[in-house]
A and B are shown apart, each in its own frame.
Chain A
Amino acid sequence: AQSVSQHNHHVILSEAASLELGCNYSYGGTVNLFWYVQYPGQHLQLLLKYFSGDPLVKGIKGFEAEFIKSKFSFNLRKPSVQWSDTAEYFCAARPSGATNKLIFGTGTLLAVQP
Chain B
Amino acid sequence: DAGITQSPRHKVTETGTPVTLRCHQTENHRYMYWYRQDPGHGLRLIHYSYGVKDTDKGEVSDGYSVSRSKTEDFLLTLESATSSQTSVYFCAVDWGERSTDTQYFGPGTRLTVL
Contact = CB atoms under 8 A, between A and B. Distances in A.
Decide whether A and B assemble into one complex. yes
A46 B104 contact: yes
B48 interface: yes
Most B CB within 10 A of own CB, among A36, A43, A95, A102: A43
Interface of A is mostly: loop
Interface in A92-114: 94-96, 98-102, 104-107
B107 A43 contact: yes
Contacts of A107: 42
Contacts of B58: 101
Size class of the contact patch on chain A: 20 to 34
Contacts of A90: 42-43
A107 B41 CA distance: 8
Contacts, number: 46
Interface string A59-92: 0000000000000000000000000000000100
Size class of the contact patch on chain B: 20 to 34
A32 B100 contact: yes
Contact of B102 (A42, A43, A46, A106): A46
B42 A106 contact: yes
A43 B108 contact: yes
Interface in B59-102: 90, 92, 94, 99-100, 102
Nearest to A44: B105
Nearest to B95: A46
Interface of A: 32, 34, 36, 42-46, 49, 51, 90, 94-96, 98-102, 104-107
Interface of B: 31, 33, 40-45, 48, 50, 58, 90, 92, 94, 99-100, 102-108
11 contacts: A34-B102, A34-B103, A43-B90, A96-B100, A99-B99, A101-B48, A102-B92, A104-B43, A104-B44, A106-B41, A106-B42
